[in-house]
A and B are shown apart, each in its own frame.
Chain A
Amino acid sequence: MITEELKIKINELLPSVTYEEGGEWPTLNIESKDWLRFADSLRNDDQLFFNYLFCVTCVDWKTLLTMVYHLTSTKHRHTIVVKSKLDRNNPEIETVSHIWRTADFHEREAYEMFGVKFLNHSDLRLLILPDGWEGKNPMRKDFEDPVNMIRL
Chain B
Amino acid sequence: MLLMDIAKVIRSKNAGPRCTTLDIMFASMQDYEAVVNANQITESRIAQLYELPVDQVKIINYPIAMALKIVLPRKITAGDPGDRDVYGAQQHARLFRIEI
Binding between chains A and B: no
Q: Which residues of A are interface residues toward B (Cβ below 8 A)?
A: none
